Structure 1
Amino acid sequence: MPKSPHPRATVAASLSLVFLTGGCAYLEGGGSQSADPDSPECEAFSQWQGNEGTVSVYASIRDEEAERMERSWQQFADCTGIDIQYEGSGEFEAQVQVKVDGGNAPDIALFPQPGLLARFIDAGDAVPAPDSVRTLAEEGWSEDWLNYATVDGELYGTPLGANFKSFVWYSPTYFSENGHEVPQTWDEMIALSDAIAADGVKPWCAGIESGDATGWPATDWIENVILREQGPDVYDQWVGHEIPFNDPQITEAFDRADEILRNEDYVNGGHGNVQTIGTTSFQDAGMPILDDECGMYLMGSFYAAQWPEGTTVGEDGDVFAFNLPPVDPEEGTPVMGGGEFVGAFADRPEVVAVREYLATAEYANSRAAEGAWFSAHQGLDLDGLEAPTDRLGAEILRDPETVFRFDGSDLMPAAVGAGTFWRGMTNWINGEETDVTLDYIEDSWPS
């Protein structure tokens, strides 16, 4: 999916059908009615009662995902009397700045890029997390996650949802029938690729076409390889431009990715030759796995929604996924991913109450119960996750051996991360020399 958030739209609260759940009344499609605060169903929210008011929340989350999210906090809203007014926008990144500049900032914003939140922190617009929120955050997430919303030791945002961008999708049936096993190291994965190729099947399928965002799936490849080959310190230096984009260590990572992505013996299963990667949409790219026309496809956890209706996702199903393996298993389990962070522009008691609730395991489990979502929260009940790949991703993210890094291009200046990096990778896939691509991106970095 593109580095900016998925295309999602909020629902207008226009339906009047009311249904009762757990003693609280809800308006389908949004809105709420107050519940008896002394009822058993409201006991879990008693600490936030007495903070009635309206809290505006702004994000990029839209459509069905927005409906799920609004349902996930509905009982909290009904039991506390806090009216959460949600707005989702496909132009969130640009419009949140317009709102802040115009004196119409939302109380809370869900930031899909830590760099965007940092912009408002640097400008003095974002409100630091109060001690109560910080305590909940430190109980719930690893330091890796919290560091992305921390500036000069001050926490400004708490993680919310997560997505896993190191998944390699495959067919368990195909693997089993051909005696293949899920690789545990990079070398084992290359040996597996050779074995699949020897059977006359292209081991990899790929596609980087995504409209105006064409090229972003190839950046995921590079980010994953840098994290595995060079380690988290070099990854951080590269993302922060402490080393140049054309540093020899980055060249080495491109060379390793080249062994797969521009290898005619390895790609592009079900679609054609290497050049078809540039014209194959990321949505269609993995489909040949279902027909045993390619063995593997690197794509994020969100790809679970792309498989056709009737596809069984699971360890013994039609498709499943494994984490792109490490180059050196002694260095831990590298994972590259993304997610949203809860930031705020106001500190009224009702706003703090919502920030606190969104930082709890109770909220994470409420949202997970709505489906199609998971979190890196340590208190998340894995049994409540609907999709097997969501459970797998959550298990890996909370593993103490996991070395997590946020999607690099989401942290870079937009002109690079959502501009020259995408275009450069498209040129590279189409045959441009690695040094030319790296010099082009390096020269574009804002001074």
Structure 2
Amino acid sequence: MPLILIVEDDVTFSLMLTTWLKKKGFTVDTVTSVGEARRRIQQNPYNIILSDLRLPDNDGIVLLKWLKENQPAVPLIMMTSYAEIQTAVQSIKLGASDYIAKPLNPEELLNKIQELIKDTGTASTPAEQPRTGTVVSSPAYIEGKSREARQVYDYVHLVAPTDMSVLINGASGTGKEYVARRIHEESPRKNAPFVAVDCGAIPKDLAASEFFGHIKGSFTGAINDKTGAFVAANGGTIFLDEIGNLSYEIQVQLLRALQERKIKPIGSNQEIPINVRLISATNENLRHAIEKGDFREDLYHRINEFTIRIPDLKERKEDLLIFANHFLDQANSELHKSVVGFDNETIRIFLSYSWPGNLRQMKNVIKYATLLATDKFITRNELPGELIETPAVAPTKLKTLKDEEHERELIQAALQQAGGNKSKAAILLGIDRKTLYNKLKIYKLE
């Protein structure tokens, strides 16, 4: 089956187009930005690219120019509004195979795709070729289009070409390792190893061996020589996840290795030069750990030449449905299902829920719901209990309440039950967010 890549940041439109093309027998991948499109195109043998003209990180013309330089044989159809037809015509001059105006005429688009496939003679080959970086194997984190998301990736693009050490702060499940890998992939070290170490999973007495290696017989259980993570990552990037879990003794050894750029395997007298870039991550406040004496301040400054904070999912409501549809694509592929999307009530639940487990939790929730789904859309009935068991608020809704003192107490209770999430508190109170914000000002509860 021909393989098509859709580059479109309008998630609803992209989902509709994907569903329609799949029904016509095509295999479809979707991305929401030029940057992600470039990576997918390098990884997969696409027959056709369908690209929107206006995208969050750049425009379709930039993608077209890149495509003509790197994979000129792959045809691209530009999708554009009627107001941008002149620009679309310009794209033809720059090498686009065709363009089509929104709202799309499905049959017109199908004809254009079939003509291009016929011209290139690749109607049946792509599905037989090995694919990497598809929806199934792609990381559980994608770029969003919110201001918070753009700031994260602006920082990634800014720091990646340097050799600065980076500290990534973020709660569990927000995608810290994915961001670390993105930094590595956009750096001059991209063709060298990327080695990830989960510091929280290393037993204290084996940490030095994991980092620096050991020689056979150096301690009980050392039945073979072991290459440590720093030697394995030499020339590339080492990622230390949850670095705050390291013991004080290992922190001292790590600091020495970073300062001297040499390591010594356990039981060896030979020092090995190392050239690695360090990226660390933590879900705790290392400043507080320093104050308590649990983390060395000199090591903190060594690993923290540049900081990137990844916001919680609940802070990125604008991106929430982008992630949800991405995970739905993954779940459909893994479970061999064909669920189209989410009904309106499910979307409302998603938007009001606090997602304490962030992206990891969302991925699991959607996979669970997809497995249970018996129709085209995921409904409330397929969601796990933690999403639909809304904490009880006083039965009197705020919009019908007259007593101001009682109203103040009810707002405070709703905010507490919603974990400080104003959007969720407004839903519990039966009012819109704007009304809630006004009342917060009136009662000085901000």
Same fold (TM over 0.5): no
The structure carrying a bigger helix percent of its residues is: 2
TM-score with structure 2 setting the length = 0.24
- Which structure exhibits the higher relative contact order, with contacts defined as CA atoms closer than 8 Å and separated by 6 or more residues? 1
Radius of gyration: which is bigger?
2
**TM-score of the two chains, using structure 1 as the length reference:** 0.24
